[in-house]
Amino acid sequence: MAFEFTLLDHPGDGNARLGRIVTPHGTIDTPAFAPVGTQGTVKALDPRDLHDLGVQILLSNTYHLYLRPGADLVAAMGGLHRFMAWDGPILTDSGGFQLFSLAARRRVDEEGVTFRSHIDGSLHRFTPEMVMRVQEQLGADIIMCLDECSEPLDRTYNEASLRRTHAWAARCQAAQTRSDQALFGIVQGGVFADLRQESARFLRALDFAGYAVGGLSVGESKQAMYEVLDVTAPLLPRHKPRYLMGVGAPDDLVEGVARGIDLFDCVLPTRLARNAAVFTRQGRLNLRNARFSTDPGPIEASCDCYCCSHFSRAYLRHLFRAEELLGYRLATIHNVRFLLHLMDDIRAAISDGCLAQFRASFLACYRSFGEQPELS
């Protein structure tokens, strides 16, 4: 089945949208959150877990899979879905964000990016055409244009960078050969409203299957991020899905949806979990905290996940202190379930025409305990 995005009727709730994405590997109810399986596995979880948790789409990283085990190998094994035994929708990014993170280990020119592997220092080069070929080998349902993810606050750099990102988007589109993958363009432009607007208009003219907002949650303030969404989202085509890349803090999901975003991905729930930090409606907890040593209750009594229905905070604290693998797994199960449950609630609120009320009450409660600084 081809890629399709449908907006569902709802009473109207500002800019928030209720929709459905159909892909060759299944349907995604939007707004949706995609957990990240960087190296072809969502860390600590197996595909059965993902289904049990209600995951409808996951993200995997082109940069990482290209380096190890290699796109040729994944293709020879029947593509990424078969290789990792996940039969639901997959989105692969283009590597743009990872190349940005490599900092001194990469050099950008008009044609592409030359970089050294974080694994063994070997030299590689990504061009728009190369990245399209790799993503076609991996075979995800949604694939991304190569973009340059630049310092969000540097105006001059963003101007030059945006020209490249736009040229690369056109080249990616021209290089696409598979018709069963939906290619999304990525709006860049740092925190600068006019650049974001220019980018949205430019990419819109290319008529992509969907539109991502990239280069956010990389050092700018939350307020700056929300302002970028405020100016960008209205310029994106109404009947195409809108994807906010790399954002997954609970409050950001609510704020993003309220500004018209349909899809999110982030390593936050899985990375936090491996550091013993877990989400609750009252903010984040760290399970290593001594006050949980004799706590017989679950992370969150209202949560329906396997972790919360079977294990106490005292047991989880023990697992983290003893560095037991089960601790990482159970906390990951909870954090992913928490975000998916939040997305369920958000969709229900949009459907009921009461997102504004949900947003106010959720944020008041979640921020009441003061969130810990994000781990990056």
In the complex with its own copies, the residue whose CB is nearer, 45 or 299, is 45
In the complex with its own copies, the residue whose CB is nearer, 177 or 309, is 309
Cβ proximity of 82 and 73 under 8 Å: no
**Angle (CA) 121 125 130, round 5°:** 135
289 binds its own copies (CB under 8 A): no
CB of 285 to its own copies, least distance (A): 18
The tokens for 205 are 């003219």
**Residue 93 is a catalytic residue:** yes
CA end-to-end distance (rounded Å), the chain: 37
Total residues interacting with its own copies, rule: CB under 8 A: 38
Contact region for its own copies (CB under 8 A) — 105-113, 164-172, 281-289, 324-332?
A: 324-332
In the complex with its own copies, the residue whose CB is nearer, 61 or 161, is 61
Q: 106 φ, ψ to 5°?
A: -140, 150
Cα dihedral sign for 36, 37, 38, 43? positive
CB of 279 to its own copies, least distance (A): 20
In the three-class reduction of DSSP (H, G, I as helix; E, B as strand; rest coil), residue 313 is classed as helix
Cβ proximity of 221 and 228 under 8 Å: no
Among the listed residues 8, 85, 348, 356, the single contact to its own copies using CB under 8 A: 85
In the complex with its own copies, the residue whose CB is nearer, 111 or 324, is 324
In the complex with its own copies, the residue whose CB is nearer, 43 or 105, is 43
Q: What is d(CA 109, CA 333) in angstroms, rounded to the nearest whole number?
A: 41
83 binds its own copies (CB under 8 A): yes
Using alpha carbons, select from 368, 308, 360, 4 the residue that is nearest to residue 182: 4
48 binds its own copies (CB under 8 A): yes
CB of 345 to its own copies, least distance (A): 26
322 binds its own copies (CB under 8 A): yes
- Choosing from 147, 252, 262, 265, the catalytic residue is 265
- Choosing from 13, 93, 141, 147, the catalytic residue is 93
68 binds its own copies (CB under 8 A): yes
Contact region for its own copies (CB under 8 A) — 137-145, 236-244, 316-324, 364-372?
A: 316-324
Q: What is d(CA 50, CA 227) in angstroms, rounded to the nearest whole number?
A: 33
43 binds its own copies (CB under 8 A): yes
What is the bridge-based pairing of β-strands 58-60 and 123-126?
A: unpaired
Question: Roughly what angle, to the nearest 10 degrees, separates helices 355-366 and 325-351?
Answer: 150
Q: What is d(CA 62, CA 245) in angstroms, rounded to the nearest whole number?
A: 14
In the complex with its own copies, the residue whose CB is nearer, 197 or 275, is 275
288 binds its own copies (CB under 8 A): no
324 binds its own copies (CB under 8 A): yes
Helix extents (H) in the chain: 47-53, 62-67, 71-76, 80-84, 96-101, 128-138, 155-175, 193-206, 222-232, 250-258, 268-274, 306-310, 313-321, 325-351, 355-366
Cβ proximity of 355 and 10 under 8 Å: no
Among the listed residues 19, 31, 35, 40, the single contact to its own copies using CB under 8 A: 40
39 binds its own copies (CB under 8 A): yes
In the complex with its own copies, the residue whose CB is nearer, 48 or 201, is 48
Based on the number of CB atoms within 10 Å of its own CB, is 151 exposed (0-12), middle (13-18) or buried (19 or more)? middle
Contact region for its own copies (CB under 8 A) — 25-33, 93-101, 308-316, 334-342?
A: 308-316
Where in the sequence numbering do the catalytic residues fall? 93, 265
Q: Which positions lie near its own copies, rule CB under 8 A? A: 39-41, 43-48, 68-69, 73, 76-78, 83-85, 293-294, 296, 306, 310-312, 314-315, 317-319, 321-322, 324-326, 328-330
